[in-house]
Amino acid sequence: MLVCGVGQVPSDCGVSVSKTQFAPRIGIAYRVKDDFVIRAGYGITNDPFSLQRPLRTNYPVLLIQNIDPPNSFQFAGRLEQGIPKVTVPSLGNGIIDIPPTFATVTVGENFRRGYVQSWNFTLQKGLKWGFVGQAGYVATRSTRQLGYNDLNAGQVIGAGRSGQPLFQQFGRTSATTLVTPFGTGIYDSFQGTLERCFSQGLSLNLAYTFSKVIGFNDNSDSGPAVRYLPAFDRNRTVRSYNRPHNLQITNLWQLPFGKGKRYASQGALSALAGGWQINNLLSFFSGTPFTVTSSGTSLNLPGSSQTTDQVKTSVEKLGGVGRGQSFFDPFAFAPVTQARFGTSGFNTLYGPGVVNWDLGLFRKFQITEHHSLEFRAEAFNLSNTPHFGNPGTNVSNFNPTLADPLRRFGGYTEITGTANTGRDGIDERMFRIGLRFSF
């Protein structure tokens, strides 16, 4: 480990930043007729991945000690022996050894930051009754997309720790993570909108996206799902956040009652019915993809995830929800018990889609010229429609010989939770009522 500015190590650790990362952007708009416009754009953005995040807690700033057993059948140590003592290293001349049980993150000697290209082509047309329609192609391409790769991941199937290259050379058991490019990422989409600007108390917007995202499968911040280099291409798949269809409908409607409106413009009815506004947000979108997995015991390859064997040509979607109910055919897959990868890939099935309706009811009371009171009533998931999460995916938990279906599946193919819709885990219908005084 080089400690910048200590001993013989220069303050910049010999790292320089390129000043040639030119990122141009250009856009063109052409008005064919008064109600018809063509737009196109292209741009390059340098990969915004921040190296400060993985390197700021590096050894010896943070001592991340990982003590792993040789394989899943053995233990790493005994409780009676306690946790191994952590020794604070001496910085010496700025070049220090990293103990084999401590994790670290590094970058390559010839580090090159990647970039993202974006382009679009859209047609916009004025329609009847105040509507404006737009349709277009929107895409991005990520080149040399950065991610994490463990240089000490197992490279010999079935060998466990003995197959880790740095363990063979130096007895190193912990991760040595390299921040490195992983190739390309692809996003293609059709995007369409139908919009009616606010007029006569009503606005409406419909937005639909049909898209696909392809890239390198990863386990959040831990890096690619497969670090075994001969099978590294297994990582290239549909990304876990891909939603092929996404339709959003929003509207704002000021009810036509009260002073200055078409109906009930005078009298007591005007005072009661006037000033009300209704807002709606309706969402319809596809579920996210998931991977059917198998126990990695027979694979015994540290740093790589195991998939299952698909034994049926097609996988039937059964749609079951709850304990003892299968969302997809449980017999379409089989556990892997040999020292090899499963025949299925990553993210081959899709979970349940989401339908949601949020409603808002507002009314403003003008007390004086400078004082007003607004009443707000909002309902989230008004229809109380459940938004189910993805099912359990580990086929190794499945034991079809058991008579009790609640124990037979072990969570496999079962949906037992709801999706996170961005409301702090609250999925059921929720009401919120409030008053706002403005002065």
Q: What is the pLDDT of residues 156-167, one digit of tens each?
A: 999 999 999 999
For the segment 229-244, the average pLDDT, to the nearest whole number, is 93
CA–CA distance from 118 to each of 24, 188, 244 (Å)?
Answer: 11, 10, 19
For the segment 209-234, the average pLDDT, to the nearest whole number, is 85
Residue 20, pLDDT score: 79
Confidence of residue 352 (pLDDT cuts 50, 70, 90): very high
Tell me what the pLDDT averaged over the chain comes to. Answer: 89
- Contacts for 268 with CB less than 8 Å, ≥ 6 apart: none
Residue 48, pLDDT score: 86
Confidence of residue 126 (pLDDT cuts 50, 70, 90): very high
pLDDT over 70, % of the chain: 97
Assess whether pLDDT exceeds 70 at residue 196.
Answer: yes
Confidence of residue 221 (pLDDT cuts 50, 70, 90): low
Confidence of residue 218 (pLDDT cuts 50, 70, 90): low
Confidence of residue 347 (pLDDT cuts 50, 70, 90): very high
Whole-angstrom distance, CA of residue 179 vs CA of residue 111: 9
How, if at all, do strands 36-46 and 25-33 pair?
Answer: antiparallel
Residue 120, pLDDT score: 98
Assess whether pLDDT exceeds 80 at residue 312.
Answer: yes
Residue 230, pLDDT score: 95
Query: In this structure, are residues 398 and 309 in contact, taking their beta carbons and an 8 Å threshold?
Result: no
Whole-angstrom distance, CA of residue 139 vs CA of residue 65: 42
Residue 54, pLDDT score: 83
CA–CA distance from 71 to each of 104, 163, 219, 313, 341 (Å)?
Answer: 22, 11, 21, 34, 17
Assess whether pLDDT exceeds 80 at residue 406.
Answer: no
Whole-angstrom distance, CA of residue 26 vs CA of residue 118: 10
Confidence of residue 222 (pLDDT cuts 50, 70, 90): low
For the segment 208-218, the average pLDDT, to the nearest whole number, is 90
Residue 319, pLDDT score: 94
Assess whether pLDDT exceeds 60 at residue 219.
Answer: no
Residue type, 347: N
Out of 15-24, 140-149, 393-402, pick the least confident. 15-24
Query: In this structure, are residues 241 and 274 in contact, taking their beta carbons and an 8 Å threshold?
Result: no
Assess whether pLDDT exceeds 70 at residue 404.
Answer: yes
For the segment 304-324, the average pLDDT, to the nearest whole number, is 94
Residue 322, pLDDT score: 92
Kindly report the pTM of this predicted structure. Answer: 0.84
Q: Which helix (H) or strand (E) holds 53?
A: helix 52-55
Q: What is the pLDDT of residues 252-287, one digit of tens each?
A: 988 888 776 777 777 777 777 777 899 999 999 999
Return the DSSP state at 262.
S
Assess whether pLDDT exceeds 70 at residue 362.
Answer: yes
Place of tokens 């992983």: 182
Instruction: Establish how many alpha carbons lie within 13 A of residue 223's alpha carbon, considering only the half-sphere containing its beta carbon.
Output: 23
Whole-angstrom distance, CA of residue 223 vs CA of residue 303: 9
Out of 29-38, 67-76, 295-304, pick the least confident. 67-76
Assess whether pLDDT exceeds 60 at residue 52.
Answer: yes
Residue 405, pLDDT score: 74
Residue 116, pLDDT score: 95
Residue 423, pLDDT score: 65
Confidence of residue 154 (pLDDT cuts 50, 70, 90): very high
Whole-angstrom distance, CA of residue 434 vs CA of residue 280: 18
